[in-house]
């Protein structure tokens, strides 16, 4: 990738929440609902794919698509999630 990091396969590389959330530059995020490590919403654009970014973003329950942003790579954002106490 352009920033010198390899493309993370968060789901294969990290199986524990602590290691998932400690990835360089916050590239991965932990999905409590599915107990799996996923690529952070703002890094979805880095994975090589024929699927448009908007579709990748919308299919991830933890992300939201915001077409009003100027930079394409920043249009996919993490949703605000409120967890019950």
Digit-coded pLDDT (tens) for 3-47:
444 556 888 889 999 999 998 788 899 998 889 998 888 887 766
Count Cβ atoms within 10 A of the Cβ of residue 53 and give its class: 0-12 exposed, 13-18 middle, 19 or more buried: middle
pTM of the model: 0.66
pLDDT of residue 8: 63
Q: How many CA atoms lie within 13 A of 43 on its CB side?
A: 19
Identify the CA nearest to 28 among candidates 41, 15, 40, 16. Answer: 40
pLDDT of residue 44: 77
What are the beta bridge partners of residue 39?
Answer: 28
């Amino acid at each position: 990738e352009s920033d010198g990091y390899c493309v993370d396969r968060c789901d294969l590389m990290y199986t524990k929440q602590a290691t998932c959330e400690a990835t360089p530059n916050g590239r991965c995020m932990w999905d409590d609902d599915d107990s799996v490590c996923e690529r952070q919403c703002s890094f979805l654009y880095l994975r090589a794919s024929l699927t448009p970014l908007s579709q990748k973003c919308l299919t991830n329950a933890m992300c939201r698509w915001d077409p009003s942003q100027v930079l394409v790579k920043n249009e996919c954002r993490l949703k605000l999630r409120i967890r019950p106490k």
